Amino acid sequence: MFDLKDRFDGAVKTVAFAAAAGAAGVAALFFFLVALFLWAQQQYGTITATLVLAIVFLVVALAALTVVWILRQRAAERERQRAQRARKSAPQWWADPLVMTTVLDVVKTVGNKRLVAVLIGAFIVGSVLTRSGPQKPADPKS
């Protein structure tokens, strides 16, 4: 019981100190940028300093977006590979002897003449059940 309490207490302290470190880092970055702006303003003028800092932030934003795009592409590729492995390793249901025996029993029971009608009916029922049409929201007044 005490181990869980100690772990929780440690986690809370870790999160609190990480938040404080993050806030201090943001404040330090802010003051660094203010100093950089003031220096550039004295050296090159207000408009030039503003444009340079805007370009710096634009480059940082584009770099971050590029990293996000690359990470999403890699995740999508991993998901495609996982799905492909799952398809390859999935057992084929028609190779199962139990399924084949059940199919032969159904054919015997239904008969060859009515089998086509049963298969067409099963296809129609399956397609109706798997169809996803537009969902109408429930009217709150009624």
Rounded Cα distance between 104 and 111, Å, is 10
The average pLDDT across 82-88 equals: 83
Listed in sequence order, the residues at least 6 apart from 52 whose beta carbon sits closer than 8 Å to its beta carbon are 40, 44
pTM (whole model) above 0.75 = no
Flag whether pLDDT at 106 surpasses 90: no
pLDDT tens digits, residue range 11-67? Answer: 899 999 999 999 999 999 999 999 999 999 999 999 999 999 999 999 999 999 999
User: How distant, in Å, are the alpha carbons of 40, 59, 64 from that of 67?
Assistant: 29, 12, 5
